[in-house]
Amino acid sequence: MKRFLPALAVSIAAFIIYSYAAWHHPIGSYGTETDFYHLYGPDALRLRAGHFPENPYQGPGFPALVAVIAKFTGDVFVAGKWISVVAAAGTLIAVYLLFRDLFASGSWGVWLGIGAAALVAVSPEFPQFAISATTDSFFLLITVAFLLIFTRDSLSVRYRIVLCGALGGLAWITRYNGAFLMMSAVIAIVLLDYFNLSWRDRVVSTLILIAAFCVTASPWLYANYVNRGSPFYNANHLNMATEFYPELVEGRTNQDATRPLENVFRSFGDVIRYDPGRVAKHYPVNVWQSIRQSAYSTLMSPWVAWTALAGIVIALRQARSKKLLFVLISALLYVLIIGLTHWETRYYFFLMVVCAGFAAYTVIAALASGFKAIQAAALVLFAIMWLSSFGMARKDLTGFLKSQPLEVLAARDFLKQHGVTAGRVVARKPHLPFVAGLEWIFFPPVKSVDELGKWLKTNPADYVVISSIETRRRKELASLKEPDKAPAWLRLEWKNDDPLFILYRITE
């Protein structure tokens, strides 16, 4: 129990800080939390009503949990952000336990676990996503828990295999790239002979792992098959297409890119067949660029990245084991899978956790050397890693909270005060329609105000939102920033000056 108390202390401290920030986060950002109002939140409401979820990019794992927690919070966004807070705190405990026993034992192992958890807690964008209503914290907890259970010697082999199969299924129905966990486990069981089994028992163990996965994922596999024609249907090939064929979408990776590509690519096979040579050439380049970008971005401090690289080299020389190889294989497979699409910080949180562990190992290896000069340098190095990460994280979280679109809540209140409970809203972002209980219509790719008017005649709507988002993505509509210049068929309903947010009523 005493060896667990440090992890609990780090987790509780982080939970308090994240919770304080979450209380000051009343509405999702225009960044990644757009997915909540577009995908996760609506799917949570659909699942609660017994309807099939419509998100084609992820399974229903996160929305289903949101739907359950919302019964207690009364609001799906509140449920989503608090799931992330709890998952982030839980991840720190899992990180501690994983790395505490991975390389060292006794007090050095405890300090290694504390160091890894402390670095993860302040990784530059981790606190932001610890309070965001997204899948990222929840998914990260599942992945680290998978590694923790698989490498847990105190548990029986059969118990570990069944639990990991179930976690693998949960990871997959949360985010489809969670398939890397099952791939890593199969490689470890069959090729690494991780559990020291006969060939027959390796095959049996693999089948049990897959069976546990299928049992966990079977409700979604069946529902996906019935409603979409394939148990494995997903639209992530569109994200892959934006990376490999950027000229088709003017280099964009958002909805302005994926929506038009739906008419070009129907599957991953279509994406590859479109230009196999380019895919073959660009893929390794993208993987390398993604790894490099991970070291020089807001994923982690460069100090952590380079110290982690040193830690991998040292560990392979001094502490090579099947556990170590399993963790490295898992990280490699994850990077190879996620390298099929564009780079985003949150996509690489799993890599960040692994790097934090190896960076901490470098410090512990130096402390265990017994040389005072090396020990002093190691402590200074850890202080630099933690403080540089903390500084980046504080800046990122502060900027994140300042960027909240609070004007959306004011617009919602205006609509409620005027008794608006139904209607169709044309907007680039789904925030206002969702919080106001209205129907969202994605802003069309029009090139002029007149073209917008013609589009509205065949696509009836009640309101049009013009904000900094619309004018940045639809620059040809800049004149609508000034209501006096708006056409007669747009009547000003409500306006916020800074930041700009105009709600027009469509009168024709």
The mean pLDDT of 39-47, rounded to a whole number, is: 97
Least Cα distance to 222 among 114, 60, 461 occurs for 60
Whether 116 has a pLDDT exceeding 90, the answer reads yes
Identify the pLDDT of residue 254.
Answer: 82
pLDDT in tens, 132-156: 999 999 999 999 999 999 999 989 9
User: Is 344 buried (19+), middle (13-18) or exposed (0-12) by CB count in 10 A?
Assistant: middle
Please compute the mean of the pLDDT values over residues 166-176 and round it to a whole number.
Answer: 98
pLDDT of 45 strictly over 90 = yes
What is the pLDDT confidence band of residue 299, given thresholds at 50, 70 and 90? very high
pLDDT of residue 474: 83
Q: What are phi and psi of 281, to 5 degrees?
A: -80, -40
**Is there a contact between 67 and 60 (Cβ–Cβ < 8 Å)?**
no
**Cβ-proximal residues to 122 (8 Å cutoff; 6+ apart), any chain:** 386, 389, 390, 393
In the chain, % of residues over pLDDT 70: 99
DSSP 427: E
Mean pLDDT value of segment 407-416: 97
Binned at pLDDT 50, 70 and 90, residue 319 comes out as: confident
Q: Are strands 439-442 and 424-427 parallel, antiparallel or unpaired?
A: parallel
pLDDT of residue 2: 64
Model confidence pLDDT, tens digit, residues 414-426? 999 999 999 999 9
Give CA–CA dist 15/18, Å, rounded: 5
For residue 412 the two structure tokens come to 């919602």
| Residue 396 confidence (pLDDT) above 70 | yes
The pLDDT tens digits for 68-82 are 999 999 999 999 999
Q: Coil, helix or strand for 110? A: helix
What value does the mean pLDDT take over residues 362-386? 94
Strand order in the sheet with 439-442: 439-442, 424-427, 463-467, 501-506, 490-496
Is it the case that residue 360 has pLDDT exceeding 70?
Answer: yes
Q: Give pLDDT tens digits for 423-476.
A: 999 999 999 999 999 999 999 989 999 999 999 999 999 999 999 888 888 888
CB of 45 within 8 A of CB of 67? Answer: yes
pLDDT bin (cut points 50, 70, 90) of residue 263 is confident
pLDDT higher than 70, residue 104: no
Task: Say if residue 251's pLDDT is above 70.
Answer: yes
Higher pLDDT, 474 or 371: 371
Does residue 1 carry a pLDDT above 70? no
pTM: 0.95
- Is 351 in contact with 335 (CB distance < 8 Å)? yes
Q: At what angle do helices 106-121 and 76-100 cross, to 10 degrees?
A: 150
Phi, psi dihedrals of residue 427, rounded to the nearest 5°: -155, 155
On average, the pLDDT of the chain sits at 94
Tell me, what's the pLDDT at 119?
Answer: 97
